[in-house]
Structure 1
Amino acid sequence: MRRTAAVLLTLALSFATVPAYAHPAEPAADRGAGLDWAQTVLDSDQSFRGLDAVSRRTAWVTGESTTDGPGSVWRTTDGGDSWQNVSPPESDGLLFRDVEALGARSAVVLAIGPGEASRIYRTADAGKTWHETFRNRTEQAFFNCVDFYPGGRRGLAVSDPVDGKFRILSTDDGGRSWSVQSPAGMPDSTGEANFSASGDCLVIRGHNAWFGSGGSAARVFRSSDLGRTWTASDSTIPAGEAAGVFGLAFRTPWQGVAVGGDFDAPADGGDASAYTGHERTWTNGGDLAHLGEDAAWVSVLPGTLVVVGESGDTAGSSISHDGGRSWTEFSKAGFHTLDCTIDFSCWAAGGDGRVGRLQWRPGGIGAQ
């Protein structure tokens, strides 16, 4: 989203290994939750907004410079003990807002922006080499998020509306080539836009895909035919120029949550979450004490989710044990993006070049 990208920028290519620098974890607001973030700073000039965790050992993060320097891509394979800068060359000014890991060595990253600023890069050798596989040539288009179906061959990317309809880009070869889909299957979305806040404005689970919107309406768009046709439902999250759905997370193809808020009023988390149990109808969830930029399910704990957000002086992390119906803030540490893996590991990344690992303290809800 054009305005959002500008607002977020104001807030916030070597292979040399950077040793982790651990900051003291923020104290949990609710000690009963048994949660803390262990934080590491990779590059304080970066605002990280893309994250994909492969396992408890391997994760990728992407970001953008807050001083008009190069955007960056980082990778760890030792659980965050060390990180490698594996950025594409000539990335000055690029805003890497999303990364989708197709494995420990393969990944696709999305740079956002109007016109040719929207680009997609792909690596198959752990970031040693990158290939630019898409560059947007339509000035109206502004791509925000990318994701892949199971198997990693079919993928989608979503852009702000062009001529009144969201634009969908697709690949069938793992991101090596991309094509713009026909707008015939997209409902009218005049006045709406995506938010590239966390890299999860578009998510895929099974054969279903969803993306969220804001602006004139805050809706969730759903496709069950590999992204060719879409239907839209009211998210119940308030809409506005800088408000709407920022992130989505689905535990199954029918059980999901949407989180969001208003970047113009980041301390107001009222009505900033919603949940669904049957794909098409959304119910207003619990209020948040902070923005909901991203959410993730803790897969081994049914009904448990974590949500994060940060904007200016307002930041926080919250947990739900009832599928998003209610939330408890457990830390004042906030992040832009979040991912949890099937091996009970949760990662987050945000402003000031920070990455975090969620620590489950003895007596808490799990063990890290």
Structure 2
Amino acid sequence: MRILLGTITLVLSALPLGAPATAAPVAAPAADPTWNESVVDADQSFRGIDAVSPDTAWIAGSSLTEGGPGRIFRSTDGGDSWQDVSPPGTEGLGFRDVEAEDASTASVLAIGPGEASRIYRTTDGGVTWTETFRNTEETAFYNCMDFYPGGKRGLAVSDPVDGTFRILATDDGGQSWEVLSDEGMPDSTGEFNYSASGDCLVIKGRSAWFGSGGDASHVFHSTDFGRTWEANDSTIPAGEAAGVFGLAFRTPREGIAVGGDFAAPTDGADATARTSDASEWSNAGDLARLGEDAAWIQGHRDTLVVVGESGDVMGSSISRDGGLSWEQFAETGFHTLDCVRHTCWAAGGNGRVATLRLR
């Protein structure tokens, strides 16, 4: 999404390349959650993360140095150390999403117009990669992807081409992709996705959703593997740099949308919305800052965490009532977030990664 690339990159400070750091997760009581943060690569802005388990996670980034390589890192020891498992030849690419089956198999999405949008896949923990998709439409700009349970079927979404969002699909675990017909997509002229967190498109059960901003702020919903979509008002205000930034679903019916306005990142009013039927959305609690990503905490039925980062404006908030109300628990924020069991993983600008333990 062009606004995000042009606006947000400028406010990130380009620090010199740093050596990967190590840090062990520290358990924190649910009443006082605390991030345990370290720097993996200070030249990277991380916006994609996938937590496979409390021990294993993948992160995807883009260089803060113009023309620098986008990088992929993997940890298999709970964040104590990170290995650079990047594909070769990634200079100038911006990785914004990573979807992993386990410690060995993962797909990563590079975003951008035309051929900058690519998908790579590994089955050996990043030792080797295969380019499985390269966009050939100059006006397409892919932003996010996700896979259905079982890992065979998956979808990716592009900003509108000729007035409708473009959907890419796989049915072989990401080994090959095809562009679906746009006949089942509502008119989306003036809208676009935000590649803020890798979660502008999410899947739960047989349903898929993606969020939008721009002239309208919608959540699009599909129940037939991306062939047809319904657009619903998200209740999050739209704008040139505003709308839905991330989505998270606890069940195939109960979900949360988060967003805000990158032009006014300190304004978290109306920045979250809830659904209990997978389609109709209602305004939820206000945030202290914008929200780029959200995740439900497994084992804590009504507990969610939201993170956001826009330059120096950042924060992390928690809800214990399904998103009806929020409490900011940290001035530290991140672009992307994923939680598995009692452990949350997050990553953000200047190569920062963190873990959070809730009991």
Change (3 A) 1:310 1:46: same
Equivalence for 1:363: none
Q: Which amino acid in structure 1 is aligned with residue 120 of structure 2?
A: Y
Please report how far the alpha carbon of residue 168 of structure 1 lies from its aligned counterpart in structure 2 after TM superposition: 0.1
Please report how far the alpha carbon of residue 187 of structure 1 lies from its aligned counterpart in structure 2 after TM superposition: 0.4
SS at match of 2:77: coil
Are 2:45 and 2:350, in contact at CA under 8 Å, matched by a contact in 1? yes
Equivalence for 1:272: 271
Are 2:268 and 2:289, in contact at CA under 8 Å, matched by a contact in 1? yes
Equivalence for 1:356: 354
Superposition map of 1:123-272 within 5 A: 123-272=122-271
Are 2:211 and 2:246, in contact at CA under 8 Å, matched by a contact in 1? yes
Q: Which amino acid in structure 2 is aligned with residue 334 of structure 1?
A: G
Distance 2:11 2:173 in 1: 33
Distance 1:81 1:195 in 2: 31
Equivalence for 1:3: 3
Are 1:59 and 1:76, in contact at CA under 8 Å, matched by a contact in 2? yes
Gaps spanning 5+ residues in structure 1: where? 13-17, 361-365
Q: Which amino acid in structure 2 is aligned with residue 320 of structure 1?
A: S
Q: Which amino acid in structure 2 is aligned with residue 353 of structure 1?
A: G
Are 2:22 and 2:82, in contact at CA under 8 Å, matched by a contact in 1? no
SS at match of 2:34: strand
Are 2:342 and 2:357, in contact at CA under 8 Å, matched by a contact in 1? no
Change (3 A) 1:305 1:21: same
Please report how far the alpha carbon of residue 279 of structure 1 lies from its aligned counterpart in structure 2 after TM superposition: 1.3
Please report how far the alpha carbon of residue 2 of structure 1 lies from its aligned counterpart in structure 2 after TM superposition: 1.1
SS at match of 2:35: strand
Are 1:105 and 1:124, in contact at CA under 8 Å, matched by a contact in 2? yes
Change (3 A) 1:70 1:326: same
Equivalence for 1:15: none
Runs of 4 or more, structure 1, over 2 Å off, are 18-25
TM-score normalised by L of structure 2:
0.95
Q: Which amino acid in structure 1 is aligned with residue 170 of structure 2?
A: T
Change (3 A) 1:216 1:99: same
Change (3 A) 1:308 1:243: same
Distance 1:107 1:11 in 2: 30
Equivalence for 1:94: 93
For each residue in 1:54-90, what CA deviation from the matched residue of structure 2 results, as whole angstroms up to 9, or x when unmatched? 0000000000001121000000101111110000000
Distance 2:203 2:342 in 1: 20
Equivalence for 1:43: 41
For each residue in 1:171-208, what CA deviation from the matched residue of structure 2 results, as whole angstroms up to 9, or x when unmatched? 01111100000000000000000000000000000000
Please report how far the alpha carbon of residue 24 of structure 1 lies from its aligned counterpart in structure 2 after TM superposition: 12
Please report how far the alpha carbon of residue 20 of structure 1 lies from its aligned counterpart in structure 2 after TM superposition: 3.3
Equivalence for 1:318: 317
Are 2:25 and 2:356, in contact at CA under 8 Å, matched by a contact in 1? no
Distance 1:314 1:33 in 2: 24
Equivalence for 2:15: none
Are 1:38 and 1:359, in contact at CA under 8 Å, matched by a contact in 2? no
C-alpha RMSD of the superposition? 1.6
SS at match of 1:8: helix
Gaps spanning 5+ residues in structure 2: where? 13-18
For each residue in 1:268-311, what CA deviation from the matched residue of structure 2 results, as whole angstroms up to 9, or x when unmatched? 11100000111111110111111100000002111100000010
Distance 1:308 1:272 in 2: 12
Q: Which amino acid in structure 2 is aligned with residue 47 of structure 1?
A: S
Q: Which amino acid in structure 2 is aligned with residue 73 of structure 1?
A: I
Please report how far the alpha carbon of residue 154 of structure 1 lies from its aligned counterpart in structure 2 after TM superposition: 0.3
Change (3 A) 1:118 1:32: closer
Change (3 A) 1:24 1:148: closer
Are 1:10 and 1:66, in contact at CA under 8 Å, matched by a contact in 2? no
Distance 1:71 1:311 in 2: 20
Task: Say which of 62, 65, 68 aligns to 1:64.
Answer: 62
Percent identical = 67
Are 1:273 and 1:287, in contact at CA under 8 Å, matched by a contact in 2? yes
Please report how far the alpha carbon of residue 21 of structure 1 lies from its aligned counterpart in structure 2 after TM superposition: 3.7
Please report how far the alpha carbon of residue 351 of structure 1 lies from its aligned counterpart in structure 2 after TM superposition: 0.5
The answer to whether structure 1 residue 344 and structure 2 residue 345 are counterparts is no
Q: Which amino acid in structure 2 is aligned with residue 145 of structure 1?
A: C
Please report how far the alpha carbon of residue 214 of structure 1 lies from its aligned counterpart in structure 2 after TM superposition: 0.2
Are 1:19 and 1:81, in contact at CA under 8 Å, matched by a contact in 2? no
TM-score normalised by L of structure 1:
0.93
Q: Which amino acid in structure 1 is aligned with residue 42 of structure 2?
A: S
Q: Which amino acid in structure 1 is aligned with residue 37 of structure 2?
A: Q
